[in-house]
Structure 1
Amino acid sequence: MKEIRLREIGVLFYRIFLAFVFYQFARLLFWIFNKDLIKIDSISEYLRLAYHGTAFDTTAILYVNALFILASLLPLLLNTSKGYQTFLFWLYFITNGIAYSLNFGDFIYYKFSQARLTMAAMSVAQNESNLVKVFLISVLEHPFVIIWFVALMALWIFLYQRIKILPRKAQVKWIYFVSTIITLSLVATLVVGGIRGDFKHSTRPINLVDANRHIKNPLQANVVLNSVFSFFRTLTTNNFKEVHFVDDAFIEKHIRPYKFYPREAPAEKPNVVIFILESFSKEYSGAFNKNNKIENFVSYTPFLDSLAQHSLIATNAYANGRQSIHGMSSVLAGIPALKDAFTGSPYANQKIQSIVSVSNEMGYDTSFFHGAPNGSMGFLGFGNILGFKNYYGKNEYNNDADFDGIWGIWDEPFFQYFANTISAKKSPFMATMFSVSSHHPFKIPAKYEGKFPKGTLEIHAPIGYTDFALKRFFETAKTKQWFRNTIFVVVADHTNQVAYPEYEKAMNRAAVPILFYSPNPEYNLHGEIAEPAQQMDIYPTLADLMGYNKRIRSWGRSLVSAQKEEYFIVTSTGIEQFIIGNYIYLFNGQDVTGIYAKEDLALEKNLLGKINSTETKLGTLKARAWCQDYMDRVINRKLH
């Protein structure tokens, strides 16, 4: 048994466990230093936040200790020697000491930033020449921060040295090497899962937004987080930088970041139901392809096609992001994803005006539904930032018999749960449903095998299944009293697999359907919008229809307003793409690198340098101005 290195493994786990203990000390001290800014009502509430913070601690600790863990388990035969253990001691405390100090810096820094340390702070710091002076002043003003750091590090070293590894030699070397390789493989799996924040297939690595899943007040997210996590998670993802290309007057005139849609308020406030359908590309729906003249086109959405005949549809619409969480921020808050997504940025935790906040202000009950495990995709955290009063996920559904085994509850039963749950609410309500079933690995319930056309892509049958689930929802909703005075929106979060060359074109890789429907004729939601539209237009359109009658912060426009507004479409594939007037502009954050005719969706003929009209000069300025305003509002927390 000695060859299996059980004591070394046990000591390694003890040393990593110590990091968890001291991260909790740092969390407690962080709150004590900032308790006047972060309200926590009871010890039990603090302990709950601290418990949820363990997931973020795990990611941070494993980031910092990955090399130490590897060095501790390498099959070197000298691991237990005094010299090697001394090397491990210094490796452990140099890396952990530097990382741990970041938490203590936030004891002071948080009072000014109102956020945990991120790479954004480094971007600010690189332009400052007095950092040493500022640091020394901070230390003099807050000596207990340094005292606490030194005291805790001393205690940490003391506890580390209490359990030692004594020198020994491996007698049966093949057992030693084989057992070590197996151990390394198992530990590597645990480390990867810990850094991601979960082992589930249905989740992406946790980020700053996920801290909001566990809080009652948005500021409490900073107690759940730790500074090491927030720093590492934003280390390579901060392309948010303020730029200045035009003056404020140009932005006010041409970008119009605030909109106002005066409308006589409806006699009865309408309910609002938003379906954000997973991967429901425009390509899959016949109603949105009538004018595309695609040879042998096949639609996989018979119900959506029939609903479109009685709806207002945008047949030339685009997603403003590439992932599901981007769809959520674009549709509900009018905030697109550029090279770096806002929702994964250091700036996500701020006050945001959205259709959620507008609904809350107007006295609506607001709810978000997603059949996946609660918190999947970052929806619960971002939903809390937006201000949803209720969240309904797999936990609330509470019947794993309908779980698809990977992503969440099958769409059909969860859509029925959605219909019945909102039926129990008092009007007016605003409810958003984010579907799950039309997602890789593209399965449908066994009982429906063969019911939906398989088509030419794996996703086609699941699209048909979700369309069927939508039909079943409307069948149930039509029997409810609230149905008649409800505005329904159907939109995709992003695109997915492509069958037709038309949708291989660069711009069409973001082409999604947008549909507005209401059985109440007062809203006159009929017809087709042929001009370019986008997910960001949904929020101002709904605010207009609801009779909000106050200005809103929006880069989109109301699609039902009588006002004549210029469309300004934003998509991104790592470089920003703007549709402005008659041209498409590619923008890298500083310069326009391409100009294409609006009809050139494949972006095949770059007109940059070949056309120099008044329109393209102004369009270039508008692209720069939009980026300037976006960065200013995100970075300086002016999204309300």
Structure 2
Amino acid sequence: MNKSKTLRTVFIQRFIFVLAIYQIVRIGFYFYNQSFFPEINAQVFVGGLLFDLSVLGYINILFAIFHLLPSKFQQNKTYQNFLFYSFFIVNGIFICLNFVDFEYFRFVGRRSSFSMITAEGMSNEIGGLIVSYFVDYWMIPVFVALTFTLFWLGLKQIKYRNVKTSSNFISTASLLFMVILLFTAGRGIDRKPLSIVDASKFGPIGTSALVLNTPFTVLKTLSKKESLKEVNYFSEEEANTIFNPIQSFSYENSNKKNVVLLILESFGRENIQRGQTPFLDSLIQKSYFFENGFANGKLSIDAVPSTISSVPSLMNKSFISSSYAVNNVYGLPKILKDNGYNTSFFHGAFNGSQNFDQYASVAGFDHYYGKNEYKGSESFDGKWGVFDEDFLQFFAKELTTFKQPFFTTLFTISSHAPFTIPKKYKGKFPKGTTEIHESIAYTDSALKKFFESAEKMPWFNNTIFVITADHTSSTGEESEYKNNVGKFRIPILFYVPNDASMVKIDENNFQQIDILPSLVDYLQLNTKLISYGKSYKSEQDFVVNYLDNIYNLEMGDYYLAFDGTKSLGLYNWKKDTLLKDNLIKKEPETKEKMERFIKAYIQSFNHRVLKNQLTIQ
């Protein structure tokens, strides 16, 4: 006969067991992504325990009340069964959320938010992508099944059939104590509630995703509103002397060439010049190529405002999907339209995908072309939209119908997971060493055919082509692409037919938000604007991006990691590509100079985004 015990004891045993499951899942997450965490310590797991206690505290407060309510019905077998199954189902669902990031983390470099989990902006694609996820990453569903089995069997070992009741006083006191304890665990014991940003306090740089758990980040981002806050490191006057985003351009004559901006899905620096991209490699040799090019975000939806509007991604929520997406911006579409340009945006995915059509409208494009507007042979990839080769040919034909000068942007899709290419090309391209390489080679071939068609067009010789990746793919084997510098390195180039002055390998640091002021400078347009980047002609040499609550600043040969309060690391990233030698104590003057810059930069960005001041008033 089972020894009787109180439901208070049952709840405590269940809570401790689910906490243990979270630790097992974290260890699994670490081993699945071990190459992304070359340096960890005990602090990582201590911090992880705090975040696990936090999310479990909030999730299980209601269960604590159900278990500890002073009443005779606690002994009812139906009620006991209800508590068992509901505890298993609810906690099981939240445990399952962690497995989403086993693979997704490799692409985005952080734990998922609520908008990521709910596939905001991808309602048309999500069905096919879920199927592909289970097929391509079959190990993860197996891990889920094994964890659920362990969770079920473990809970079954916590006997609950013969419970006894305590006195009303003891039950009431236990209930109040447990609710207070769980609430305290959920909130954290600091002056402010535990937040996603706090994860950076535990462990080395770049380990925040290991400290956190996905249920915590999802619950903390349930609100549509982004929690961007005013910061006042300096007076406004002093901040403007350090960094001022207001830029003026004045010329006697303009150089109004057509502008074609091509954003290549996942064409990270780790994927080019390694045999998979022969066409792009050849184009680099006759272009103005930025050897040290950087993305300003880790998601496709970060790349669009960065390249189009010179707005970096310095929030945990992407700018496009935040409450600031409708802020006034004076980006390339409006600037060029003011100078007589026809403007258009092309994306071969389903209309509405990733909210690109919405942002294209806000940014000021005249026309949007998605899968619905595509005209050509049947070319659906079964997941995202139109295969790159066919959509690029459609793109080339459409451009011939536009009045010159025109500005157009095209975003490719085929080198996105699940990396589908047309059946007729199976076995035609090198497989490479990771799953993305074949689709990278396919898109490179599609790009070549686009340029072969474009060269025959009357507008070709009067055009500047800007080519950039949206972000890295995070599937490269080299360790240098798995730290907070390498995770953002992408190819960026300007190709201008018949302009010898635009053939160069530029070693300065260059980022997506630099594209806008660089084009204004090259086209010699008279304008005044807000830009968080700088022209390719500028003597400034900085790059800023943000990942997992860390602001990353590259300035010259140095990289500074700043958490919003203090600097965490300083490295000579060009010599120390694996970021092993922290120079904070060795080079305090460099650290001080870079910290002043990033503080002024953050202060300006937060203020202007919050106050809707991204345009000249």
TM-score range, shorter chain: 0.5 to 0.7
Partner of 2:309: 333
Cα deviations across residues 22-56 of structure 1 (Å, max 9, x unaligned)?
xxxxxxxxxxxxxxxxxxxxxxxxxxxxxxxxxxx
Q: Is structure 2 residue 606 aligned with structure 1 residue 626? A: no
Are the counterparts in 1 of residues 584 and 591 from structure 2 also a CA contact under 8 Å? no
1:595 lines up with 2:595 in the alignment: no
Q: Which residue of 1 aligns with 2:544?
A: 569
Name the structure, 1 or 2, with higher relative contact order (CA <8 Å, separation 6+). 2
Q: Kindly, what percent of the aligned residue pairs are identical? A: 37
Question: Pick from 257, 268, 283: which aligns with 1:270?
Answer: 257
Q: In structure 2, which of residues 238, 241, 251 is the aligned counterpart of residue 253 of structure 1?
A: 241
Which residue matches 1:370? 347
Q: 1:196 and 1:271, CA in 2 relative to 1: closer, same or farther beyond 3 A?
A: closer
Quote the Cα distance in structure 1 between the aligned partners of 2:247 and 2:321.
Answer: 27
Find 1:345's aligned residue among 319, 322, 339.
322
**CA deviation string 1:308-348 (max 9, x = no partner):** 11100001111100100101111111111124222222212
Separation in 2 of the partners of 1:333 and 1:195? 21
Q: Kindly tell me the number of residue pairs found equivalent between the two proteins.
A: 418
Cα gap change, 1:512 to 1:399, in 2 (>3 Å): same
**Which amino acid is 1:586 matched to?**
A
In the alignment, structure 2 segments of 5+ residues that lack a partner are: 1-58, 60-84, 94-116, 131-218
Give 1:199 shift.
Answer: 5.6
Q: Distance in 2 between matches of 1:526 and 1:474?
A: 18
* 1:580-612, Cα deviation, whole Å (9 max, x unpaired): 244311122232222222433433222334432
Q: CA 1:404 to 1:194, structure 2 compared with 1: closer, same or farther past 3 Å?
A: closer
Matches within 5 A, 1:135-534: 198=123, 200-201=125-126, 235=223, 238-266=226-254, 269-286=256-273, 298-340=274-316, 341-398=318-375, 401-496=378-473, 497-521=475-499, 524-534=501-511
Structure 2 SS opposite 1:315:
strand
One-letter code aligned to 2:441: G
Distance in 1 (alpha carbons) for counterparts of 2:515 and 2:459? 21
CA contact (8 A) 1:204 1:377 kept: no
**SS state at 2:358 partner:** helix
Report the CA distance between 1:570 and its aligned residue: 2.9
Query: Taking structure 1 as reference, are residues 568 and 200 closer, same or farther at Cα in structure 2, changes over 3 Å only?
Result: closer
1:236 is displaced (CA, Å) by 7.0
The separation in 2 between residues aligned to 1:304 and 1:248, in whole angstroms, is 44
Is the 8 Å Cα contact of residues 466 and 494 (structure 2) preserved in structure 1? Answer: yes
Q: Secondary structure at the match of 1:512?
A: coil
Amino acid of the structure 2 residue aligned with 1:498? G
Task: Tell me if the contact between 2:471 and 2:490 (Cα under 8 Å) persists in the aligned partners.
Answer: yes
**2:611 paired residue number:** 636
* Separation in 1, partners of 2:225, 2:377: 36
Counterparts of 2:450 and 2:402, CA distance in 1: 16
Q: Distance in 1 between matches of 2:426 and 2:253?
A: 47
- Conserved? CA contact 1:319–1:571, under 8 Å: no
Distance change in 2, residues 1:196/1:381 (3 Å):
closer
Deviations 1:160-218 (A, max 9, x none): xxxxxxxxxxxxxxxxx9xxx9xxx9xxxxxx98998836328999xxxxxxxxxxxxx
The one-letter code sitting in structure 2 at the alignment partner of 1:638 is Q
CA displacement 1:286-314 (0-9 Å, x = unmatched): 1xxxxxxxxxxx32111111111110000
CA distance in 2, matches of 1:275, 1:336: 18
1:385 deviation in Å?
0.9
Whether 2:533 is the aligned partner of 1:556: answer yes
Calculate the aligned-residue CA RMSD, in Å.
Answer: 3.2
Contact 1:444 1:462 in 2 (8 A): yes
CA deviations on 1:378-411 (whole Å, 9 max, x unpaired) are 1111111101110001000155720100011000
Q: CA 1:435–1:505 in 2, change beyond 3 Å: closer, same or farther? A: same
TM-score (norm 2): 0.63
Q: 1:509-547 CA deviation, whole Å, 9 max, x = no partner?
A: 1110001011142x7211011111111111111111121
Give the direction of change, closer, same or farther, for the CA distance of 1:202–1:434 in structure 2 (3 Å limit): farther
Aligned in 2, Cα 1:581/1:307: closer, same or farther, shift over 3 Å?
Answer: closer
TM-score using structure 1 length: 0.61
Question: Contact 1:313–1:527 at 8 Å: present in 2 too?
Answer: yes
Alignment correspondent of 1:148: none
2:323 match: secondary structure:
coil
For structure 1, the 5+ residue unaligned runs are 1-66, 68-176, 186-191, 206-230, 287-297
Please say if residues 339 and 573 of structure 1, whose CA atoms lie closer than 8 Å, have aligned partners that are also in contact.
Answer: no
SS at match of 2:414: coil
Give the conservation status (yes or no) of the 8 Å contact 1:330–1:536: yes
